Amino acid sequence: MNETEIKKLAATYTREEARSRLQHVANELVKASFNIEEYIERFDSAENDAHRARIVNWALSHLVCNIQTNLRIDLLANSQAALANTGL
């Protein structure tokens, strides 16, 4: 394999990895949507506003603590940098 073929092969792998990471983000966001729907159901059945406020707090906590970390934005950023450096 010559240098050009190696570069093309590496770029193909980089593109596939970036696409896979984007798909992971999409999947996690769909899953997160279902999780938030559960909080909405709890909110709708809450007995009072104090309980509703707690449910909103739980939803916020879930967004920050679980969803953001599960998206793996760091890996997506790595893919962005790798794509920019393929030279193709």
pTM of the model: 0.80
The backbone torsions φ and ψ at residue 24, rounded to the nearest 5 degrees and listed phi first, read: -60, -45
Q: CA nearest 85: which of 13, 23, 5, 1? A: 13
Give pLDDT tens digits for 8-31. 999 999 999 999 999 999 999 999
Give pLDDT tens digits for 28-83. 999 999 999 999 999 999 999 999 999 999 999 998 898 888 899 999 999 999 99
Q: Are 67 and 32 in contact (CB under 8 A)?
A: yes
pLDDT score for 69: 86
Amino acid identity of residue 68, one-letter, is: Q
